[in-house]
Amino acid sequence: MRLAFISTGVEYGLHCLLFLTAPADGASEPSVRDLADLQGVPAEYLAKLFTKLSKAGLIVATEGARGGVALARPAKEISFLDVVEAIDGDKQLFECREIRTRCAVFDSEAPTWATTGVCSIHAVMLAAEKQMRDELARHSLEELAAKVAAKAPANFGPQVATWLEGRPPIRRGSRDAAAKP
Which helix (H) or strand (E) is 69 found in, with range?
A: strand 69-71
Per-residue confidence (pLDDT) for residue 173, from 0 to 100: 41
pLDDT, the chain, mean: 85
Banded pLDDT at 3 (limits 50, 70, 90) = low
Residue 57 lies in a domain: yes
> Is pLDDT at 97 greater than 90 in this prediction?
no
> Is pLDDT at 47 greater than 90 in this prediction?
yes
Count of domains observed in the chain: 1
Residue 54 lies in a domain: yes
What residues contact residue 76 under an 8 Å CB cut-off, 6+ apart?
Answer: 140, 141, 142, 143
Residue 19 lies in a domain: yes
Residue of 133 and 28 predicted with greater confidence: 133
Residue of 65 and 70 predicted with greater confidence: 70
Q: Which domain holds residue 79?
A: 8-91+140-179
Domain containing 72 — which CATH number? 1.10.10.10
